[in-house]
Amino acid sequence: MWQLCGPGLEAAQQPRRGQQRHPHLRARHARVGQEDDGCPCRDGATMRHVITGGAGMIGSHLADALTARGERVLVVDNFSRGKLANLTGAIQTGLVKVCHLDLEHKPLELEPDDVVWHLAAKVAGIEYNRHNQYEMLRANLAINTNVIEAVRKAKPALFCFVSTVCVYPADAPVPTPESAGDVGNPEPTNHGYGVAKWLGEQMVKHLHKEHNQACFIVRLNNAAGPRDYYDPESSHVIPALIRRTLAGENPVVVWGSGKQTRVFVDTRDIAKALVLLGDLVPTLYESTAFACRWKTIGNMLRNTGPLVINIGHERETSIAEVIDTVVRQSGLDVGYEFDTSKPDGHARRMPDVSQLKGFIGWLPDRKLSDTVADMIADYRGRG
């Protein structure tokens, strides 16, 4: 029987076997690390996907996307932010096992046939980040080191390191190409977090070069969607505005002029992009049967470094549009105003997503209004 393992978690259903997408992702045995309480995370079955931080807002949607196509999934999470309730649908498939593990302090064990998605991170809101740069750097370095070292030891079939646009310097060009992550210093507001992610990327690049690890790096833009975090300390702009609007603030005061623009990406679209890239990247490493373009890219991956790719789209949205959308979707008679004594931050932030579109032939396409409506329903449903 499959089990949800770790403190306070209960047994789940017997799994169906996952469908193997690529012949070179061979199926032997699967196991993952366990806590001191004897978390039984080993089952000796077929290939499975290991998602660190898998009970969070992005990881849980990735679990949904993978189980929807019959894949076996192991979620590893410390539940400091992630919630078991986020995995309800995935668990009901009988294909999911959950392991309670603190990756900041505990080692992870993997098998050669695992596909590993590393989303676990210490994440907080901008104010916390600004005043706790050391802690954000320290904690995320520890998490990344433990996971990447586990990958080095096991050499799994594929490793995806989930990074962030916070690695880009403040003066990066807009739209921002992936190459800008190799020039300059991560922007100062999220410097500790950005440096930790940048150093994680460097570890992955050296792992690829020195140990021939099949891997790729994705840099996420502003993620938003159902299962987001609404607490004052760690919430980002959209969930923060939703919380304050539904709490009855009137007017809702928004920092800055409202003219600054960002790219907001629905978490369900992020999960879809990850799955599509996870299907594609192994074929690039095994590119001998592919057209010339794929052979060239495959040789690049083997000889120079892993694929690094922005996940986003080409629709910039101003913060003024965000608060207007939140108020309209809430259905409440609420006003808002801008506090121009507060900083705007970057005037524009938008990724260059030409690589993503070229590789998978698709860009995240959910409308912001639909994402916000779903987030409001999600927040209200929490009581």
pLDDT (tens digit, 9 = 90+) per residue, 160-210?
A: 999 999 999 999 999 999 999 988 899 888 999 999 999 999 999 999 999
Return the H-helix or E-strand segment holding 281.
helix 267-285
> Residue 131, SS3?
helix
Please name the residue that has the structure tokens 């920092």.
255
Dihedral class, residue 62 (left if φ above 0, else alpha if ψ from -120 to 50, else beta): alpha
pLDDT for 158 beyond 80: yes
289's CB contacts (< 8 A; 6+ apart) are: none
Cβ-contact 107, 148 below 8 angstroms? no
300's CB contacts (< 8 A; 6+ apart) are: none
Out of 137-146, 184-193, 263-272, 281-290, which region has the weakest mean confidence (pLDDT)?
281-290
What is the model's pLDDT at position 323? Answer: 99
What is the model's pLDDT at position 308? Answer: 97
The band of 20, judged by pLDDT with boundaries at 50, 70 and 90, is very low
pLDDT (tens digit, 9 = 90+) per residue, 70-82?
A: 999 999 999 999 9
End-to-end CA distance of the chain: 34
pLDDT for 98 beyond 70: yes
What is the model's pLDDT at position 288? Answer: 43
pTM of the complete model beyond 0.85? yes
> What would the two tokens of residue 59 be?
């990881």
What is the model's pLDDT at position 19? Answer: 43
Cβ-contact 33, 107 below 8 angstroms? yes
- Residue 116 φ/ψ, nearest 5 degrees: -110, 125
> Residue 185, SS3?
coil
> Residue 41, SS3?
coil
Question: What's the whole-number average pLDDT of the chain?
Answer: 87
Better-scored residue on pLDDT, 43 or 136: 136
> What would the two tokens of residue 200 be?
């994680």
The band of 342, judged by pLDDT with boundaries at 50, 70 and 90, is confident
DSSP string, 339-357: ETTS----SB--B--HHHH
What is the model's pLDDT at position 285? Answer: 73
The band of 344, judged by pLDDT with boundaries at 50, 70 and 90, is confident
Between vectors from CA 63 to CA 364 and to CA 330, what angle results, nearest 5°? Answer: 55
pLDDT for 232 beyond 50: yes
Percentage of the chain surpassing pLDDT 70?
A: 83
pLDDT for 357 beyond 60: yes
Strands 252-255 and 336-339: parallel
Q: Work out the burial of residue 380: count CB atoms within 10 Å of its CB; fewer than 13 is exposed, 13-18 middle, 19 or more buried.
A: exposed
Instruction: Give the residue from 220, 222, 224 showing the smallest Cα distance to 310.
Output: 220
Cα separation, 184 vs 206, whole angstroms = 20
User: CA quadruple 164, 166, 169, 175: dihedral positive or negative?
Assistant: positive
The band of 287, judged by pLDDT with boundaries at 50, 70 and 90, is low
> Residue 20, SS3?
coil
> What would the two tokens of residue 152 be?
């080095």
What is the model's pLDDT at position 45? Answer: 57
> What would the two tokens of residue 290 be?
């592919």
What is the model's pLDDT at position 283? Answer: 83
What is the model's pLDDT at position 209? Answer: 93
The band of 369, judged by pLDDT with boundaries at 50, 70 and 90, is very high
Tell me the β-bridge partners of 307: 216
Domains of the chain: 4-221+265-314+351-366 (3.40.50.720)
pLDDT for 23 beyond 60: no
